[in-house]
Amino acid sequence: MYNEHLGGQKSRTRKVTINLSIDENIINSLRKDAEAKRASLNARINAILTKYINFYQRTEEFEACIIVSRQFALFLEMLDEDKTAEIMKTDGTDAVISYFQHHNIPITLESMIEFTFENLAIASGVCTKLSQHIDDEGFRWLVFDHRYGIKWSRIISEVFSFMLEKTCNMHTTVNLLPNTISLKILKKDI
């Protein structure tokens, strides 16, 4: 199942106990970090490893460049909206499909939501939150929040809609707000 490849945060997998030798300065830093976040050391280590599997490992595979959000916001102001969306649509979708194929993950709506949106898009800062619900008519809505304004809403709504169409043959309609996009998937969840 794809959850084991993605570090499946939602699925409750069986926990495994292992012994690790960790440098003392690293474990001390981890303890301080866990205390600051009011989490157990075990929970903090699991969160760090999950983020590595879900995001940082992929940044290495895709040879991604990581920049701070303030710099990204400044770059976004200068970028051509149509060209940016076009590059993200083709390169991003191809990278996702390639990853799924290399890891024998079925391309389904559920795997796209978990891998592309819940894990990669949030971990990378493309968006900050994803929620989903089924409306009274039986349509699924994906609602994304982000920090970059209406231009970014237009770009990522176009990119996410394209990805869903190309990978899952799912068409969408879009509602835009400056820091929120809502995608309605035009196939009923029964």
State which residues form the domain around 57: 2-188
The total of other beta-carbon atoms located within 10 Å of residue 125's CB is: 16
Q: Is 139 helix (H, G, I), strand (E, B) or coil?
A: strand
Tokens of 64: 């991604």
User: How is residue 136 written in tokens?
Assistant: 């009274």
Q: For 56-111, write each residue's pLDDT tens digit.
A: 887 887 787 888 889 999 999 999 999 999 999 999 899 889 889 888 899 999 99
Structure tokens at 77: 């102001």
What's residue 23's pLDDT?
93
Q: Residue 76's beta-bridge partner residues? A: none
User: Which residue, among 160, 87, 177, 86, has the nearest Cα to 120 in the 3D structure?
Assistant: 160
- What per-residue confidence (pLDDT) applies to 108? 95
Distance CA 119, CA 3 (A): 11
Question: Which residues of the chain, if any, have pLDDT below 70?
Answer: 1-13, 189-190
User: What is the reported pLDDT for 9?
Assistant: 42
The count of domains in the chain is 1
Helix (H) or strand (E) segment spanning residue 22: none
Helices (H), 24-87: 24-36, 41-51, 57-61, 69-78, 81-87
Residue 141 is predicted with a pLDDT of 97
Q: Is 22 left (phi over 0), alpha (psi -120 to 50) or beta?
A: beta
pLDDT at 133: 95
Q: What local confidence, expressed as pLDDT, does residue 142 receive?
A: 97
